[in-house]
Structure formats: C-alpha cells, structure tokens
Amino acid sequence: MNDGVFGRLAKISSSATYWVLLVVIGLCFEGVALYYQHVLELQPCVMCIQVRIWVMALIFVSLAAVWIRRNVFMNLLAHMLTVVIAIGLLERSYELLGTERGFTFSDCGLDLGMPAWFALDTWFPAMFKVQTSCGYTPELLFGVTMAEALIVSSAIFLLVSAAMVVSVLLGFLSGRDGDRTS
C-alpha cells in the first residue's frame, strides 16, 4: 500500500502543499471571473455567481485543512467536503453548459436565491451580485468557453477529491494515516 497509487495519494492528502494548491487554484478561478466581470465588463449570471460561491467554499475548506490536516478525522472531513464542493461545482457547470448549449432549461433570473442571513450579494456585491440572465459564457482561449472549461475542471476535481477520500480511508483502515510530517 505504501508504494501504490493510493499510498502516494494518502501521503499527498495530508500535505500542506496539496491544500495550498487548492487555495491557489480557487483564487485563480475567482480572479479570472472577476477579471471578466470588472475589466472586460461581462456581467455574471446567477449560475456564474453560484459557481463563485462553490469556489469560495473550496478556498475556505482548503485554508482550514492546512491547519487541521494532521488530524486524520479532520483531514478526512476536509476531503469529504471537497467532494461535496466538487459535486456542487459539477452540477452548476452542467446547468451552465446546458443553458449555453440549449440542452437544459433553467430558471435563471436575477435573484441569487440565498437566505437573508447569508446575503452575499448584499454584503459583497462586487463579487456576488447577479447582473444578467443566463445564456452564454465568454470564450477563454482557443474557442473554449468558460462553461466548457468549468465542466471539465469540475469533473477532474471530483475525481481527484474522491480519490483522496478513498486514499485517506484506505490509509486509516490499514493502520496508516498518511504522512504527518509535511
């Protein structure tokens, strides 16, 4: 097990580098979204804002995991939360791509749909205020739209996150809970 794929993943799963990398990726995603909104003046729709919320959740979970990763149960919890986040991202990305391509029809108004006690669009309007209805996403590079890039990256993120959960569980069940010196 120590030399196998899941053994290596278990070692990575408890490293600060892995969690910091997720923070950096999340910040890059948020930065690109804000660049398109504030510099290129392409206004976000409700699904785009919901993607931003999922990415922000990833950033917060990953930041917390940097400090709690040495506790096997908390590390497992953080990895399980990343699976939930990846599922949420994949679902929103699918709906966004479906709306863009016309194979799903979503209710896509200007209301974020958050409860009053969690009014991100009121507290941080520059980042979380819905400003247009859904319909298309901008092209990033080489003809790839933001929705296409999101669905691919979300699927990869879900696979990696699920593999990390399995590796932590296998490490725990085998009596080894990963490398805690990273």
Name every residue whose Cβ is closer than 8 Å to that of residue 71 and which is 6 or more positions away in sequence. Answer: none
For the chain, what are the domain ranges? Answer: 5-173
Q: Which residue has the tokens 């990033």?
A: 140
d(CA 25, CA 86): 13
**What pLDDT score does 107 carry?**
63
**Residue 115: both structure tokens together:** 């409860």
**What pLDDT score does 176 carry?**
56
Tell me the pTM: 0.84
Instruction: State the CB neighbour count (10 A cutoff) for residue 157.
Output: 20
d(CA 148, CA 47): 14
CATH superfamily of 5-173: DsbB-like (1.20.1550.10)
Q: Assess contact for 80 and 128: CB atoms under 8 A.
A: no
Which segments in the chain show pLDDT lower than 70? 1-3, 105-107, 175-182
